Structure 1
Amino acid sequence: MDRKDDYETPSEFHLDEQNGERYQREALKPERSIRGRLSPLVIYTLLGLAILMSFVILGTAVHLITGNSEEVSVSLAKLKAELAELTKNLSHGRPFNQWRRFNHKLYYFSSSRHSWNESMKFCASMKSQLVVINSNPEQEFIQRNIKCGHWIGLHDTVVEGVWRWVDGTDYATGFKNWAAYQPSNMGLGLGTDCALVTGTGGWYAWHCDSWHYPLCEKPED
């Protein structure tokens, strides 16, 4: 494995684990939104609508008092245009629990964390698999869409040190993007047999029973 100049260590990325805490796993339902939490798009859209309604009420009151309907109409039209632009910009956000299309494939970035084996089942429940990264463009697409650790379909659970992709893609000749000095235990002990990709793009060998977000893929219909 070639060493990379941009050395990454576990302290340089966010794995977003709940170390030492009990974790209540969510049901494997891809359509379920983040528990008890609305997406930023919904929150800001509702906020924008509330602001617009406030101005409508205010404008109506001004109209009743001043009778200057033309000025009020112009102000309301301007507010509506600004709200439409706000909604348009928010639509470019990247909420969890949605399929995203890239290069004739669909990718699912889950909001629920699972072990590596549970993540395999999670993806299978949606007729997909943990992602197999085959190229630099695919790697860059994934990196743009994540900020913390996501499981990928790479492991050496069968033979220690012999890494395999879940779909049988040849690991030895295929694309790789391990972080510097990876894959290795790096003082983490044995059992770091499953791979995850981080927000900085590097791949890390990690404990298979730790909890991270599944990253699933399937062919575009």
Structure 2
Amino acid sequence: MALEITYAEVRFKTESKSSGTNSLSPNAHKEKTTSRKRNPGFPKLLFTSSLMLLLLLAISLLVAFIIFFQKYSQVLQEKKTLLEISQKHPELECIKASSTTEGKAWSCCPKDWKSFSFHCYFFSTDSKSWNKSAESCRSMKANLLVINTKEEQDFIIQHLKIRPLYYVGLSDPEGQRHWQWIDHTPYNESATFWLQGEPSDNTERCVVLASHHNYKHNRHQWGWNDIFCDISQLSVCEMMKIYL
């Protein structure tokens, strides 16, 4: 009797183990199959990566197009400006350009103009009002002189005659001592060259280069002086150098 009970217990345990193994195997297989079928992560990741690559490619193409368009527009503008200048100034005087001028072999100024740094200067021989002088400069694709540094001021006065006055591109349109350069260059108080006691009158709204005799040092001193804009004076025109 004892042997039969022991056998029954062993048999029961064996069946239970076998039954447990058989019942778990289909479920595990089903879960794996379902997991594979329901996992959308890989397709989504692939789609997102492809979309990002296309977006980066589109941005790169757009940036390249903008750069190309800007370069092309710059070349067209340079050609247009050169054509307009050549029509006004058929004769140019050129020197070898410095190595810092990228892609350009020559720097040129119109004939009878003076060259300094990156600019060309024309000293008029006929007198006009400030407005007429500005118009005359513009007709030559230039502006009335804008002085930015002492070096530029010193270069200019070397070519001026002592007695006349020369209009520059500085004015006070409203008579409020708000000085403005004709090309909208900011007026820099630290780079001004007024003669002693100038500017002296709010109704004198235009500026000339003038020579004042310094009796103490027995020499002529050049500086800025405000005068009435309708007085006829000589003038100095300025334009950027032409690079070829």
TM-score by length of 2: 0.48
List, as ranges, runs of 4+ consecutive aligned residues in structure 1 with deviation greater than 6 Å. none
CA drift of 1:149 comes to 0.8
Aligned partners of 1:167 and 1:158: how far apart in 2?
17
Instruction: State the Cα deviation string for residues 45-79 of structure 1 (Å, max 9, x = none).
Output: xxxxxxxxxxxxxxxxxxxxxxxxxxxxxxxxxxx
Q: Answer 1 or 2: which has greater helix percent.
A: 2
Note if contact 1:139-1:201 (Cα within 8 Å) is conserved in structure 2: no
Aligned partners of 2:112 and 2:233: how far apart in 1?
17
Note if contact 2:175-2:203 (Cα within 8 Å) is conserved in structure 1: no
CA drift of 1:170 comes to 1.3
Q: Who is 2:174 aligned against?
A: 158
CA drift of 1:173 comes to 4.4
Instruction: State the Cα deviation string for residues 5-52 of structure 1 (Å, max 9, x = none).
Output: xxxxxxxxxxxxxxxxxxxxxxxxx99xxxxxxxxxxxxxxxxxxxxx
Q: Which has the larger Rg?
A: 2
Q: Who is 1:131 aligned against?
A: 145
Q: Who is 1:203 aligned against?
A: 224
Q: Who is 1:171 aligned against?
A: 187
Which of the residues 113, 117, 125 maps onto 1:99?
113
5+ long unaligned stretches in structure 2: 1-87, 90-110, 212-220
Aligned partners of 2:178 and 2:240: how far apart in 1?
27
CA drift of 1:98 comes to 2.3
Give the number of aligned pairs.
Answer: 123
Q: Who is 1:193 aligned against?
A: 205
Letter in 1 for 2:207: A
Aligned partners of 1:181 and 1:128: how far apart in 2?
31
CA drift of 1:219 comes to 0.3
Letter in 1 for 2:168: I
CA drift of 1:167 comes to 1.1
5+ long unaligned stretches in structure 1: 1-29, 32-96
Q: Who is 2:198 aligned against?
A: 182
Aligned partners of 1:192 and 1:168: how far apart in 2?
20
Letter in 1 for 2:236: L
Aligned partners of 1:121 and 1:170: how far apart in 2?
21
Instruction: State the Cα deviation string for residues 61-111 of structure 1 (Å, max 9, x = none).
Output: xxxxxxxxxxxxxxxxxxxxxxxxxxxxxxxxxxxx921111121000010
3-state SS in 1 of match to 2:238: strand
Q: 1:174 to 1:121 in 2, by over 3 A?
A: farther
CA drift of 1:191 comes to 2.8
Q: Answer 1 or 2: which has greater strand percent.
A: 2
Aligned partners of 1:157 and 1:135: how far apart in 2?
23
Task: Give identity over the alignment, percent.
Answer: 33
Note if contact 1:196-1:203 (Cα within 8 Å) is conserved in structure 2: yes
CA drift of 1:214 comes to 1.7
Q: Who is 2:123 aligned against?
A: 109
Aligned partners of 1:191 and 1:214: how far apart in 2?
20
